[in-house]
Structure 1
């Protein structure tokens, strides 16, 4: 009997542990997000009253793909901020200048200033939101729609289907999803 109870307890703990490791996906609720910005302040999504939602873009200063998308990300912010869906960039390595000196907060600040970002650029603390949202590569976009209990995840994926900054993408995934919300 003792072995059975122990086995059941072990199984319960294992299943809870596995559930905790599963990343959120479209249709799930993100309760909130609050991280340090390149401006030196904590940016809290719930504290932002005007937006209907947000477009999170996970990007780093040294990623070639991110560099190719910088202008498109700024164009998305310009196009959708006034419609209630501003960009919020997140640097997955921003909190660790020892392990990731070229992608940490000092470089994020340089990038933001150099490019004239009109949106917050946040440092993910210990990959909390990177792992929580299942981000595996940069750049990756996450569209959030504001709800009373947090933020409904509407989309997680690529910005569009063509990373070449000189080419026009055929499928603008983020724009298509945002246009459905508007």
Structure 2
């Protein structure tokens, strides 16, 4: 079922975390930020919304790193209920697609809860002070409905954040599959 996150809460501070990554390292929030900000993305391996834009996520991440924006992706889905999202499969996807960013595993789901992540993909764009400036979509693409030539909304917003410290006032929320929470 598709879900949509809330609009950007400008200035909201990025919660700290330390998580293992598919590259064998462990990363904390401070390890990930760039000189001009940080993009934290909640993604997963099986979501058709993520898969529809994954190549653009990779492209934009590489382009944002050149602008001094650190980038990281986090998978918080329950791997018992969704085996495609387990750590081994995360590692395979990251290697297969040559992710230019750490792909982190939030096994306890505490980071997704701290960020109030709602769906995959869910984008959190922070300025150099780690204040939230963007919580919108990557572009107008939807599964089975490509939007060729659409604006690079995420990239443009984060470029603005890198240059000014502030995100655009108008943002269109991302849409995707709900985070797959563990049973209580």
TM-score, normalised with respect to structure 2: 0.74
Structure 1 runs (4+) greater than 4 angstroms displaced: none
Contact 1:160 1:169 survives alignment (8 Å): no
Q: Which residue of 2 is the match for residue 55 of structure 1?
A: 39
Among candidates 81, 101, 109, match of residue 65 of structure 2: 81
What CA deviation, in whole Å up to 9, does each residue of 1:102-122 have, x standing for no partner? 112111001001111111000
The structure with the larger Rg is: 1
TM-score, normalised with respect to structure 1: 0.74
Q: For residues 8-157 of structure 1, what are the structure 2 equivalents within 5 Å?
A: 25-48=9-32, 50-93=34-77, 97-147=79-129, 151-157=130-136
**Relative contact order: is structure 1 or structure 2 higher (C-alpha 8 Å, sep ≥ 6)?**
2
Q: Does 1:167 align with 2:147?
A: yes
How far did residue 87 of structure 1 move? 2.2
Structure 2 unaligned residues grouped into runs of 5+: 1-7, 164-184
Structure 1 unaligned residues grouped into runs of 5+: 1-23
Number of matched residues? 154
